[in-house]
Amino acid sequence: MLTVLITGLATGMLFAAVALVYNVMYSTSKVLSVTTGHISMLGGVFGAYAISVLQLHWTLGLLAAVVAGGAFGALTELLAIRRVLNRSDEHLWLLSTLALATMVQQAAGLWWGTEPKPFPRLIPQDFGVGVMDQKFWLPIGMTLLMAIGLELFYKRTMYGKVFMAMSEDAFAAQARGISTDRIRLMSYVLSGALGGLAGFAAGQLTFAFFALGLTLTLNGFIALAVGGLGSNVGAILGGAALGLLNAYASYWFGGEYQQTIAVGLLMIVLLVKPEGLLGDRQVRPV
């Protein structure tokens, strides 16, 4: 019973981490990228590759995950976002990020294989420890660290304040001499690194699996929408709600209805409070 709770929390925190990544990217580009989930997928895959295949120490595996994530974040910005933002058609970025996401998923499948591969243990631990297993606590701890880190970043550092400025009014920020292109790229690299980190931390829970990207994009988005776009606390709450709902629904009804229930949650929240639990009233439906 406790296992269900802890599993729900752990997967929920992975979803929350993806929601945090969405938030950072959205703040400087006003874009929700389809590649968001794939960043974490790459973190898990590259981490597993570094540790299991290259036999490197887990710290280097962590580094590999962070670098892979950050690099893919940069690629997303440079390729799929930058050139598309100034066109008049608003939804081209949806298409370009969808295209890039497909490409990276297929490439990962071709390189890593289509079978989920086990992720190595980072800290020596028996496999029978139940709820104390690091596969649960690593993602939970990592996501909370990320959220706290982001808060400190936004409130205490210069760059964080610049991010917030861009988020409020990109035009004004540009008028004040901020290179919006460079800041946006930075935010994508930062969020990519965070996403890679999250994927690495959750690797033992999810396994290193090439097709994880799309699932995380969707579930991370549900966590985001439920918690409220733009709110990091909302992301945590939304992720927790989704993760727990999924876990208990699987336990009571079987795993086949997981997706249905997740979307059901999303739809209910959107109907009752379209801007999410803690979001601002800016997401206006047509």
Partner 1 sequence: MNSLTHTHKAWLLLGGLLIATLPGWAGDQYQLHLASLIAVYWILIAGLNMVVGFTGQLSIGHVGLLCIGSYAFAVLAGKSGWHPALALVASGVLGGVCGLALGLPSLRLPGFYFAMATMAFALIVNDLVLAQVDLTGGGIGLPGPLFPAPFDSPSGFYYLVSLLALGVTWLSWNLGRHMWGRALISIRDNPVAAQSVGVAVFRAKLTVFVFSGVTAGLAGAVFASLQSYITPDTFVFELSLFFFVCIIIGGRGSIIGPFIGTVVLTALPELVAPLAKLGNFFYGLLLLVVVLVVPEGIGRVFDIIRERLRPRVVHREPISPDLARLDRALKYKP
Residues that bind partner 1 (CB under 8 A): 32, 34, 79-80, 83-84, 87, 89-92, 94-96, 98-103, 105-107, 110, 214, 217-218, 221-222, 225, 254, 256-260, 262-263, 266-267, 270-271, 283-286
Tokens of 132: 């104390």
Q: Does the CA dihedral 199-200-201-207 come out positive or negative?
A: positive
**At its nearest, how many Å lie between partner 1 and the CB of residue 228?**
13
**At its nearest, how many Å lie between partner 1 and the CB of residue 259?**
5
Complex with partner 1: residue 122 or 222, whichever CB lies closer: 222
Complex with partner 1: residue 162 or 247, whichever CB lies closer: 247
Separation CA 189–CA 18 (nearest Å) = 14
Residue-by-residue DSSP string for 5-41: HHHHHHHHHHHHHHHHHHHHHHHHH----TTHHHHHH
Separation CA 249–CA 262 (nearest Å) = 9
| CB distance 15 to 195 below 8 Å | no
Complex with partner 1: residue 34 or 138, whichever CB lies closer: 34
**At its nearest, how many Å lie between partner 1 and the CB of residue 134?**
29
- Identify the burial level of 141 via C-beta atoms within 10 angstroms of its C-beta, where 0-12 means exposed, 13-18 middle and 19 or more buried: middle
Separation CA 155–CA 151 (nearest Å) = 6
Complex with partner 1: residue 156 or 284, whichever CB lies closer: 284
Tokens of 229: 């776009």
| CB distance 12 to 243 below 8 Å | yes
Complex with partner 1: residue 30 or 121, whichever CB lies closer: 30
**At its nearest, how many Å lie between partner 1 and the CB of residue 56?**
28
Complex with partner 1: residue 36 or 204, whichever CB lies closer: 36
Nearest by Cα to 140 from 11, 272, 277: 11
**At its nearest, how many Å lie between partner 1 and the CB of residue 38?**
11
**At its nearest, how many Å lie between partner 1 and the CB of residue 277?**
16
